[in-house]
Chain A
């Protein structure tokens, strides 16, 4: 598989870019932030997304989607990264769809996937509980009760949690925090008794929520995949999510970088364009090289997810770690090279810096993935 986009993938990119840059430039996010919008994204835009087939990109064709792969999801995520458009694409179209189509029963799939594909159903993945991403540290208790389970515990950083209709929740049916066995995934209706949602206003003005579960009852047929064996399913879903977030970071990095290079070509000091200073030229060149190399690593990970899913973990760790460090550098250099302008809220650069920080944290930061890689290679 050549490490370049196919013609169809490039066409998908162009149509996503057209829609997103037209309807949701950075000012769109700014507007939602400034008006403290209760939904945090535009439902109309999500409808337009669905009409173009983006919400059902990963949904299999027999459930109303287009049955495409991770590379295609990455292509859309990258465009989202360019304008920071807030949307349920990651939570619903990528994470929930992957969880349902990889772990769901026929009944679960037909209950939820068509709604996601047509844009009417929103879903969110509730995994992390502590300050850092540690999926195996899940403590949320799921004890057997009647024909199902009773959930008790709390989740943090549930992306799009407060607008979702359906939650996919990781809980412990066995084992202790830190162990792989004993994890189970549940489908939980947001309106179920005992679910308390608090929207968390985040630095990047994107949607997230804290969710508490107090004696929430779920039926046995709401178990996604097998009881106690959720870790493998979760790994797979998270790897897809990591690939997607890494793509968003590539888009974000590239956008900040290109804005920065343009600035170097227009801002004058000491009677020269600042882009003539070699100290800045070299830093810009290094960043360019970093971004290109990261782009290749991310595409490699997405292609591996599509081609050899079970062996994609290492490639995904590489991609997410690289994307995190590259995006961090890109936004830092972006602000620095814009000088005082970079620190103003009026200028968009700061939005990228904030989003990069959140993306770095989502599903494991660069340190987390470096540690994972070392474990995979046994040292």
Chain B
């Protein structure tokens, strides 16, 4: 038996023994997962048990080096772990911007002190991070951001406003883009900096969304003092770090559909619209939408797998994550349109107990942000057109 097969067998056995049954059910909302942080609370005992067991194995970040709290798995082993978790429907033990976005950027651009300081805390869910990129006048055109960082001895003094900062009101620390050289060309004067949200001068104000939730905020910085040693990478070269992080964010968002997978769409639809004598959905058009959707979903799954294999073979294009982000998010929106359509009148309930607080329509509305957050679909297509297809023009 190959090492990998042994690893698979042992992993499966370990997961079987350690993943509580409650943690094998499909998530119904973002609260069904643990987000960590200074003020975090577990929503249930099984959630705590599952998190702690995974953390102790380094499997909140299976592919990070062991010295930073990771599991030290190589790519193939990591893939096996993901497959085995997916096979039993195991939830992710920890959801975190630190894992998905900041961690990879620190591993590549951080100095040793920064890695030692932050990575193990991310792995252990001790610090919850938020992302300070967008500003009221810098969305798709992110590099036009205006938040200033002025030099004052060993510190910077940061002033400005961010917007759409997800979970800023729950976050402990922020990774933030600031302008350190206002005279340079717009991409050349930006730095990537980390600081504590409890610092004096930081305040947040939640924004209510169409889903009825307020997952993000306006964030204000009023003369916030931050040590210069908190800059990641080179001063004024923060754009490189920002872009690298965005690749990870996009890859994460493009896979978001998978994390919520619940019952097969065909069964969900059969429950509400019924089937004919041959077992086919009564609604032929819906049936066709579902199967066409499932074809595209399976194909996207293959493409995601191939993207990893291509990267491993050194054949992938750095902008390919934009292609996956575009397709993954458009597809996830389609999934939720179908779910709404399959649910019919029942899917319209907003507050009843029966509807678990309107879980379905709220999730549907949430997915509309998929093609906006992390860069809009239009921006992704622009990146593909220019960077991959090499089409001309500004």
Chain A residues in contact with chain B, CB under 8 A?
2-4, 261, 264-265, 272-273, 275-276, 278, 281-282, 284-286, 288-289, 292-297, 299-300, 314-315, 317-319, 321-322, 366-367, 369-371, 373-375, 377-379
Contacting residues, chain B, for A278 (C-beta < 8 A): 382, 393
Q: List residues 250-271 of chain B with CB under 8 A from any CB of chain A.
A: 264, 266-267, 269-270
* Alpha-carbon distance between A297 and B305 when the two chains are bound, in angstroms: 10
Cβ of B323 and Cβ of A289 under 8 Å apart? yes
Contacting residues, chain A, for B356 (C-beta < 8 A): none
Cβ of B392 and Cβ of A2 under 8 Å apart? no
Cβ of B391 and Cβ of A276 under 8 Å apart? yes
Cβ of A300 and Cβ of B291 under 8 Å apart? no
Cβ of A281 and Cβ of B291 under 8 Å apart? no
Q: List residues 269-322 of chain B with CB under 8 A from any CB of chain A.
A: 269-270, 275, 279-281, 287-288, 290-292, 294-296, 298-300, 302-303, 305-306, 309-310, 312-313, 315, 320
B123 shortest CB reach to chain A, Å? 28
The contact of B294 among A281, A299, A377, by CB within 8 Å, is A377
Cβ of B309 and Cβ of A2 under 8 Å apart? yes
Cβ of A379 and Cβ of B313 under 8 Å apart? no
Cβ of B269 and Cβ of A292 under 8 Å apart? no
Query: In the complex, which residue of chain A has the Cβ closest to the Cβ of B324?
Result: A289
Cβ of B391 and Cβ of A275 under 8 Å apart? yes
B16: interface (CB < 8 Å): no
Cβ of A3 and Cβ of B323 under 8 Å apart? no
Known: A3-B306, A369-B295, A379-B270; 11 extra A-B contacts, CB below 8 A, are A4-B315, A261-B389, A275-B391, A285-B389, A293-B299, A296-B306, A297-B302, A321-B292, A321-B295, A322-B296, A378-B266
| CB contacts between A and B, total, < 8 Å | 139
B64: interface (CB < 8 Å): no
Q: What is the interface residue range for chain B against chain A?
A: 35 or more
Contacting residues, chain B, for A369 (C-beta < 8 A): 295
Cβ of A276 and Cβ of B393 under 8 Å apart? yes
* Alpha-carbon distance between A296 and B316 when the two chains are bound, in angstroms: 13
Contacting residues, chain A, for B313 (C-beta < 8 A): 2, 4
Looking at B299, B303, B309, the one whose CB has the most chain A CB atoms below 10 A away is: B299
The contact of B310 among A4, A293, A314, by CB within 8 Å, is A4
Contacting residues, chain A, for B299 (C-beta < 8 A): 293-294, 296-297, 318-319, 322
The contact of A282 among B279, B302, B385, B390, by CB within 8 Å, is B385
The contact of B291 among A261, A289, A373, by CB within 8 Å, is A373
Cβ of A370 and Cβ of B306 under 8 Å apart? no
* Alpha-carbon distance between A299 and B299 when the two chains are bound, in angstroms: 10
Chain B residues in contact with chain A, CB under 8 A?
264, 266-267, 269-270, 275, 279-281, 287-288, 290-292, 294-296, 298-300, 302-303, 305-306, 309-310, 312-313, 315, 320, 323, 326-327, 378, 380-382, 384-386, 388-393
Query: In the complex, which residue of chain A has the Cβ closest to the Cβ of B79?
Result: A2
Contacting residues, chain B, for A273 (C-beta < 8 A): 392-393
19 contacts across the A-B interface (CB closer than 8 A): A4-B313, A275-B391, A276-B392, A276-B393, A281-B389, A285-B323, A285-B381, A285-B384, A288-B323, A289-B384, A297-B303, A299-B306, A314-B298, A318-B299, A369-B295, A371-B288, A374-B266, A379-B269, A379-B275
Contacting residues, chain B, for A322 (C-beta < 8 A): 295-296, 299
B265 shortest CB reach to chain A, Å? 8
Contacting residues, chain A, for B303 (C-beta < 8 A): 292-293, 295-297
Contacting residues, chain B, for A294 (C-beta < 8 A): 299
B83 shortest CB reach to chain A, Å? 13
Cβ of B391 and Cβ of A288 under 8 Å apart? no
A273-B392, A275-B392, A293-B303 known; A373+B385 contact, CB < 8 A: no
Cβ of A379 and Cβ of B327 under 8 Å apart? no
* Alpha-carbon distance between A152 and B51 when the two chains are bound, in angstroms: 68
Query: In the complex, which residue of chain A has the Cβ closest to the Cβ of B269?
Result: A379
The contact of A281 among B296, B298, B302, B391, by CB within 8 Å, is B391
Cβ of B389 and Cβ of A282 under 8 Å apart? no
* Alpha-carbon distance between A375 and B290 when the two chains are bound, in angstroms: 12
